[in-house]
Amino acid sequence: MQKALLLSIALLASPAAADTLIDNANGIQVGPDGQLQRFTGLLIGDDGKVVRVLKGERLKMPEGTRVVDAAGQTLLPGLIDAHGHVMGLGLALTQLDLTGTKSLAELQQRLKDYAAANPDLPWIVGRGWNQELWANKRFPTAGDLDAVVKDRPVWLERVDGHASVANSAAMKAAGVTAATKAPPGGRIENGLFVDAATVLVASKVPEPTPGLLDQALLKAHAMLLENGLTAVADMGTSPQDWAAMRRMYESGRLKLRNMSYAGGSDSLAAIAPDGPTAWLYGDRLHLGGIKLYADGALGSRGAWLKQPYADAPTRGLPLLTPAELSKQAGIAAGKGFQIAVHAIGDAANDMVLDAYEQLGSAQGDKRWRVEHAQIVDPADLKRFAADKVIASMQPVHQTSDRTMAEARLGPKRLDGAYAWQTLEKSGAKLALGSDFPVEHPNPFHGLAAGISRQGLDDQPPGGWRPWERLTLAQALAGFTRDAAWAGFAEQKFGSLEPGKWADFILIDRDVSAATPHDLARTKVLQTWVAGEKIWEATPETAR
């Protein structure tokens, strides 16, 4: 009786403005209570927003309604990467790709092939090498590159972006000689430039033209959409990036939502001198915050630690003094910007939390963020919740870096390393991402790592420090609802609810029933933004 009554109400309630019905879906999302929610379809208005989330009821739709039979496929809210580098990904897709090289010889071979294929390029710029994947783990040198390309500058960035290697022609072009001293916060060794020293050569690389930036954005967005992402937080937008984004959104060629954080105080002043921008192009582009760096990364020993590294006599380096950090964050906060600071080492995390406390992070609804929060002194973990600070973390960093982290830190300092569940239990909010192009942007890799603490190779058995695993609901929240909240966008997207944008994906498996191994191998079938299908798998992409 009750069922029949509900059905008749449903029939009467079919709204005239709705123009798309997604039916027969295995809908899964995280509800406001943090639990997994099930639903069977969506009614989408002609404005691209969700009118109604269906839970099994059949709707009688007016003539002309577009009905999409999801054929029982799993439907998720569009996934959100809470920390990526959109232009970095796009440019990487146009440059020499060195990711996954298994040896110096392989790097040299790829460099040789690329140089031969691009004879007109004045500089050869590449990225993605990681000497940790090579048998002897030796950093590459200028000599290693000279052996392959001598006639023009070569500049190759490490996978984490915190070190680059130059050939002799690049150093010559940059005016770097044996007498050149590295600036504070940097190091130069045999053509390897670390952290603050990279600017010596990087500043001499010819600027990408606006046309190249536009192409890079298109390539990046295409890759993100096919991986099931419908929104990203762009961590470190430059004025040139912003101008390219404005051009490309203006012309309607970009669909994915971009929450920008200006790359440093100068970029912020150039892009948005007075305060956060409006949400532009149908809530697709917004600059609401600033990204600052407290330290470097663990791989190049640039992360700033409280005690020396276990495998080298250094503590790493802060990239800002506490006074400078407080000053820059304070000025941005005074104009209403959200603050996001990169902190990897435990000393850097401590410094950022100190600055946030001084500036009153817990007062009001500020949602300030620590990017990575990778190695935190266990005594500092509870300060995230107390200071109302978001831990913006990347599950794939844990699986990629675990053996390196063990070597850099030794066994006794791992208790606050990648401590996801400890942070969750303390009441801190997590936002999850990949840090692309440092890691592949595929969010299913992150979800799988999040619930298993295992890499794509299923190692180590049982997961690394498995008590820090997340539940599927926690991990999915980190890539949807909470990632939107971390960008002040939870009223717009991040969950499928009436009044929010109909951003969603159809995928080839039920994530709630998949093993971590299978979850990581999920294939995206369709990606929709604002009620519009903007990407669909083809036989070639379905591989």
What does the per-residue mask of binding to Zn ion show for 378-417, with x meaning CB under 5 A?
----------------------------------------
Contact segment (CB under 5 A) with Zn ion among 53-61, 172-180, 206-214, 431-439 equals 431-439
Strand spans (E) along 130-264: 154-158, 163-166, 186-189, 192-195, 229-237, 257-263
Phi-psi group of 441: left, alpha or beta (phi > 0 → left; psi -120 to 50 → alpha; rest → beta): alpha
Q: Measured from the CB of residue 435, what is the shortest distance to Zn ion in angstroms?
A: 4
Q: Measured from the CB of residue 390, what is the shortest distance to Zn ion in angstroms?
A: 15
Whether residue 437 is preceded by a cis peptide bond, meaning omega within 30 degrees of 0, is yes
Please state, in angstroms and rounded to a whole number, the distance separating the CA atoms of residues 198 and 142. 14
In this structure, are residues 451 and 469 in contact, taking their beta carbons and an 8 Å threshold?
yes
Q: What angle (nearest 5°) sits at the alpha carbon of residue 456, between those of residues 452 and 461?
A: 50
Contact call for residue 435 and Zn ion (CB under 5 A): yes
Please state, in angstroms and rounded to a whole number, the distance separating the CA atoms of residues 222 and 538. 14
Tokens of 17: 């403005």
Q: Measured from the CB of residue 238, what is the shortest distance to Zn ion in angstroms?
A: 14
Q: Measured from the CB of residue 145, what is the shortest distance to Zn ion in angstroms?
A: 25
Nearest CB to Zn ion, comparing residues 233 and 530: 233
List the 124-129 sheet strands across, edge first: 96-97, 124-129, 154-158, 163-166, 192-195, 186-189
Q: Measured from the CB of residue 208, what is the shortest distance to Zn ion in angstroms?
A: 19
What does the per-residue mask of binding to Zn ion show for 249-288, with x meaning CB under 5 A?
----------------------------------------
Exposed, middle or buried: residue 512 (CB in 10 Å: 0-12, 13-18, 19+)?
A: middle
Q: Measured from the CB of residue 458, what is the shortest distance to Zn ion in angstroms?
A: 26
Contact call for residue 195 and Zn ion (CB under 5 A): no
Please state, in angstroms and rounded to a whole number, the distance separating the CA atoms of residues 157 and 452. 30
Nearest CB to Zn ion, comparing residues 377 and 435: 435
Contact segment (CB under 5 A) with Zn ion among 200-208, 286-294, 355-363, 430-438 equals 430-438
Nearest CB to Zn ion, comparing residues 435 and 482: 435
Please state, in angstroms and rounded to a whole number, the distance separating the CA atoms of residues 212 and 210. 5
Q: Measured from the CB of residue 516, what is the shortest distance to Zn ion in angstroms?
A: 24
Q: What angle (nearest 5°) sits at the alpha carbon of residue 489, between those of residues 277 and 238?
A: 40
Do strands 524-529 and 532-536 pair parallel, antiparallel, or not at all (unpaired)?
Answer: antiparallel
Radius of gyration of the chain from Cα atoms? 24
Chain position carrying tokens 């600027």: 207
Q: Measured from the CB of residue 236, what is the shortest distance to Zn ion in angstroms?
A: 7
Q: Measured from the CB of residue 303, what is the shortest distance to Zn ion in angstroms?
A: 13
The one-letter amino acid at 216: A
Please state, in angstroms and rounded to a whole number, the distance separating the CA atoms of residues 237 and 452. 32
Contact segment (CB under 5 A) with Zn ion among 15-23, 98-106, 395-403, 434-442 equals 434-442
Q: Measured from the CB of residue 374, what is the shortest distance to Zn ion in angstroms?
A: 11
Q: Which residue is nearest to Zn ion (CB)?
A: 435
Contact segment (CB under 5 A) with Zn ion among 209-217, 301-309, 433-441, 477-485 equals 433-441
For the chain, what's the residue count? 543
Nearest CB to Zn ion, comparing residues 232 and 329: 232
**Would you call 42 helix, strand, or coil by DSSP?**
strand
Nearest CB to Zn ion, comparing residues 86 and 389: 86
Nearest CB to Zn ion, comparing residues 111 and 438: 438
Nearest CB to Zn ion, comparing residues 144 and 435: 435
Nearest CB to Zn ion, comparing residues 11 and 199: 199
Contact segment (CB under 5 A) with Zn ion among 170-178, 257-265, 435-443, 477-485 equals 435-443
Nearest CB to Zn ion, comparing residues 241 and 435: 435
How far is Cα of residue 491 from the mean position of the Cα atoms in its chain?
A: 21
Helix axes 264-271, 322-334, angle to 10 degrees: 20
Nearest CB to Zn ion, comparing residues 161 and 494: 161
Nearest CB to Zn ion, comparing residues 435 and 497: 435
Please state, in angstroms and rounded to a whole number, the distance separating the CA atoms of residues 410 and 235. 30
Nearest CB to Zn ion, comparing residues 233 and 520: 233
Nearest CB to Zn ion, comparing residues 291 and 383: 291
Contact segment (CB under 5 A) with Zn ion among 150-158, 181-189, 355-363, 429-437 equals 429-437
Please state, in angstroms and rounded to a whole number, the distance separating the CA atoms of residues 19 and 63. 10
Q: Measured from the CB of residue 234, what is the shortest distance to Zn ion in angstroms?
A: 10
In this structure, are residues 507 and 77 in contact, taking their beta carbons and an 8 Å threshold?
no
Tokens of 384: 């995230």
Please state, in angstroms and rounded to a whole number, the distance separating the CA atoms of residues 316 and 159. 18
Q: Measured from the CB of residue 438, what is the shortest distance to Zn ion in angstroms?
A: 6
Tokens of 317: 């380096």
Whether residue 411 is preceded by a cis peptide bond, meaning omega within 30 degrees of 0, is no
Nearest CB to Zn ion, comparing residues 81 and 435: 435
Q: Measured from the CB of residue 232, what is the shortest distance to Zn ion in angstroms?
A: 12
Q: Measured from the CB of residue 482, what is the shortest distance to Zn ion in angstroms?
A: 18
- Kindly tell me the sign of the dihedral angle through the C-alpha atoms of 506, 509, 513, 514: negative
Please state, in angstroms and rounded to a whole number, the distance separating the CA atoms of residues 112 and 147. 10
Contact call for residue 160 and Zn ion (CB under 5 A): no
Size of residue set near Zn ion by CB under 5 A: 1
Q: What residues line the site for Zn ion (CB under 5 A)?
A: 435
